[in-house]
Amino acid sequence: MKKTIIVTGGAGYIGSHTILELIDKTDFEIVSIDNYSNSSAETFSRIEKISGIKIYNHPIDLCDKKGLFDFVSTLENVVGIIHFAAFKSVPESVENPSLYYHNNLESLINVIEACKQFKIDNFIFSSSCSVYGNIDSLPVTENTPFSPAESPYAHTKQIGEQQLELYAKCGVNFKTIALRYFNPVGAHPSGLIGESPINPPTSLIPIITQTAIGKRDKMFVHGYDYPTRDGSCIRDYIHVCDIANAHVKALNILIERKTDLNYNVINLGTGDGVSVKEAIASFEKNAGLSLNYEMGPRRAGDVVSIYSDTTKSTDFLHWTAEKTLDDMVTSAWIWEQNITKETR
Ligand SMILES: NC(=O)c1ccc[n+]([C@@H]2O[C@H](COP(=O)([O-])OP(=O)(O)OC[C@H]3O[C@@H](n4cnc5c(N)ncnc54)[C@H](O)[C@@H]3O)[C@@H](O)[C@H]2O)c1
The verdict on the CB of residue 107 being under 6 Å from ligand 1 is yes
Pocket test for ligand 1, best of 126, 183, 233, 267 (most atoms within 8 A of CB): 126
Distance CA 245, CA 193 (A): 15
Of 13, 132, 153, 226, the catalytic one is 153
pLDDT of residue 201: 84
| Domain containing residue 291: CATH number | 3.90.25.10
pLDDT of residue 122: 98
pLDDT of residue 110: 98
Q: Give which of 247, 234, 254, 227 is closest to 319, Cα–Cα.
A: 247
Distance CA 270, CA 107 (A): 30
Check whether residue 276 and residue 210 sit in a common domain.
Answer: yes
Q: Which amino acid is at 197?
A: P
Q: How far is the CA of 10 from the centre of ligand 1 (A)?
A: 9
Check whether residue 168 and residue 19 sit in a common domain.
Answer: yes
**Cα dist from 251 to 7, 83, 118, 152, 200, whole Å:** 12, 12, 18, 28, 31
pLDDT of residue 163: 97
| Domain containing residue 316: CATH number | 3.40.50.720
226 catalytic residue (yes or no): no
Check whether residue 150 and residue 277 sit in a common domain.
Answer: no
**Cα dist from 211 to 183, 208, 221, 283, whole Å:** 19, 5, 12, 11
Per-residue pLDDT of the chain (344 residues; tens, 9 = 90+): 999 999 999 999 999 999 999 999 999 999 999 999 999 999 999 999 999 999 999 999 999 999 999 999 999 999 999 999 999 998 899 999 999 999 999 999 999 999 999 999 999 999 999 999 888 889 999 999 999 998 999 999 999 999 999 999 998 999 999 999 999 999 999 999 999 867 788 889 999 999 999 999 999 999 999 999 999 999 999 999 999 999 999 999 999 999 999 999 999 999 999 999 999 999 999 999 999 999 999 988 788 999 999 999 999 999 999 999 999 999 999 999 999 998 77
Does pTM surpass 0.75?
Answer: yes
Answer yes or no: is 193 within a domain.
no
The verdict on the CB of residue 197 being under 6 Å from ligand 1 is yes
Q: Structural domain of residue 227, as residue ranges?
A: 204-233+272-307+326-343
Pocket test for ligand 1, best of 19, 82, 84, 202 (most atoms within 8 A of CB): 84
Q: Judge whether 292 and 218 are in contact, CB under 8 Å.
A: yes
In the sheet that holds 263-268, the strands lie side by side as 56-58, 29-33, 4-8, 78-83, 122-128, 175-181, 263-268
207: phi then psi, degrees, rounded to nearest 5: -70, -40
Check whether residue 147 and residue 281 sit in a common domain.
Answer: no
Q: Judge whether 33 and 63 are in contact, CB under 8 Å.
A: no
